[in-house]
């Protein structure tokens, strides 16, 4: 039989890190392929996704949240919501998962060389951005000014805290964190991410803005970016849909004639404006 894109490779969970606790917990899983050849040949770029499955439970499509500059493993960040993600949250180091990918397109990290970058993330939407931010930071000299705007419901819901602490220490990255509701001891911005964006006011000159988060946040972020003078081809986002195959066959993740899994998940606002369809 021909090569089978539906058949995953086996990978072992090397490490589980709890990013966020509470009702909607987020954990980051560090996965290492069992087959060395597979591990070495699995190359991806920030923004790409992988199909991760717990055999017996099902598959889910996740953005790879580790940077391609970190070799030897991949990481996915998972929010506990449905059947598979709940089961994943119950797995431990040493458990085996199936992984196939990488799927989809990626952020144009080559084309963006020399530009200023603004990252606007909310909640679990930070996962694909984390991959990109780490990639950019590891290739810092190729890019201009970096602004990272990130917010969550409360300080407890902010993920990748350690990494943000480290980023904040760096002089060549500006980090702007926010939470939605006031909290004791919180000295940074209080309010929604789009409002924080207006406060930070990143200049549109020679800039690219990349946003990911809940649909409603993306909508207002785009509105505010336009207010700040960003044009439609300066704004990029990554989308999420229910997916089953990851390779543009099963039919459910289409927006117009494009499949989010295969033709996305990274879209420019210009592209999005020109395709119609429910999203």
Partner 1 sequence: MDKMILLKDDLSKFITELLKKNKVFAPIQSDDTILFDQITRPSEMNLDFCKSEIPPKNLLFHQTETLFKFTPGTKAKIESVDVDEKKVIFGIRPCDAKSIAILDHAFKGDYEDPYFLSRRDNTALVGLSCNKPEINCFCTSFDDSPASSKYVDILLTDIGDKYYVEMNNEKGKQLTEGMSNLFKHAKESDAKKKKEVEKKAVDMISRHQKTNGIVEKLDKIFENPFWKEVAFKCVGCGTCTYLCPTCHCFDIQDESTLTKGARVRVWDTCMNPEYTLQASGYNPRPARTNRVKNRIYHKYNYYPKNFDVIACVGCGRCIDLCPVNIDIIDVVTRAGEVKA
If the CB atoms of residues 130 and 262 are measured against partner 1, the closer one turns out to be: 262
Q: Does 4 bind partner 1 (CB under 8 A)?
A: yes
Applying CB under 8 A, among 28, 99, 240, 267 the residue interacting with partner 1 is 240
Give min distance, CB of 233 to partner 1, in A.
21
> How many Å is the maximal CA-CA distance in the chain?
61
Do residues 209 and 118 make contact, with C-beta atoms less than 8 angstroms apart?
yes
38 scored as a contact of partner 1 (CB under 8 A): no
Q: Does 14 bind partner 1 (CB under 8 A)?
A: no
- The residues, any chain, with a CB within 8 Å of residue 127's CB and separated by 6 or more, are 62, 63, 65, 76, 77, 212
With vertex at residue 85, the alpha carbon angle to CA 84 and CA 87, rounded to the nearest 5 degrees, is 65
Size of the site for partner 1 (CB under 8 A): 45
> Per rule CB under 8 A, is residue 190 in the interface with partner 1?
no
DSSP string, 229-242: T--GGGEEEE----
Does position 279 interact with partner 1 (CB under 8 A)? The reply is yes
Q: Which residues on adjacent β-strands are paired with residue 209?
A: 118, 235
Print burial letters for 44-65: b (CB count within 10 Å at least 16), e (below 16).
Answer: bbbbbbbbbbbeebebbbbbbb
Please, what is the minimum distance in Å from the beta carbon of residue 70 to partner 1? 25
Contact code string over 194-233 relative to partner 1, x by CB under 8 A: ---------------------x------------------
At closest approach, how far in Å is the CB of 252 from partner 1?
A: 5
Give me the DSSP letters along 50-75. Answer: EEEEETTTEEEEEEB-S-TTSTT-EE
Using DSSP's 3-state secondary structure scheme, residue 137 falls into helix
Q: Which residues sit opposite 74 in a β-bridge? A: 31
Residue whose CB is less far from partner 1, 7 or 162: 7
Closer residue to partner 1 in complex, CB, 190/247: 247
Is there binding between residue 23 and partner 1 (CB under 8 A)? no
Give the interface with partner 1 as residue ranges (CB under 8 A). 1-8, 10, 53-59, 81-83, 85, 94-96, 98, 215, 240-242, 244-245, 247-254, 256-257, 262, 276-279
């Amino acid at each position: 039989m021909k090569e089978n894109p539906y058949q995953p490779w086996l990978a072992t969970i090397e490490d589980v890190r709890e990013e966020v606790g509470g009702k909607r917990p987020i954990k980051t899983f560090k996965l290492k392929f069992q087959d060395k050849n597979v591990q070495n040949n699995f190359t991806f770029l920030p923004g790409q996704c992988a199909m991760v499955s717990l055999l017996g439970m099902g598959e889910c499509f996740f953005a790879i949240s580790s940077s391609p500059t970190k070799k030897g493993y991949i990481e996915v960040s998972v929010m506990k919501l449905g059947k598979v993600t709940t089961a994943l949250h119950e797995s431990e180091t040493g458990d085996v998962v199936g992984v196939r990918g990488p799927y989809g397109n990626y952020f144009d990290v080559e084309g963006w060389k020399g530009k200023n970058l603004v990252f606007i993330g909310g909640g679990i939407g930070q996962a694909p951005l984390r991959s990109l931010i780490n990639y950019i930071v590891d290739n810092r000299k190729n890019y201009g000014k970096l602004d990272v705007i990130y917010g969550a419901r409360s300080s407890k819901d902010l993920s990748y805290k350690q990494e943000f602490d480290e980023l904040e220490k760096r002089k060549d990255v500006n980090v702007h964190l926010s939470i939605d509701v006031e909290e004791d001891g919180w000295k940074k911005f209080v309010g929604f991410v789009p409002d924080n964006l207006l406060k930070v006011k990143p200049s549109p000159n020679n800039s690219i803005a990349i946003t990911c988060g809940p649909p409603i946040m993306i909508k207002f972020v785009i509105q505010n970016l336009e207010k700040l003078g960003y044009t439609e081809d300066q704004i990029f986002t990554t989308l999420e849909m229910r997916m089953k195959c990851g390779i543009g066959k099963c039919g459910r993740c289409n927006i117009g004639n494009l499949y989010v899994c295969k033709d996305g998940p990274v879209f420019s606002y210009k592209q999005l404006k020109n395709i119609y369809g429910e999203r």
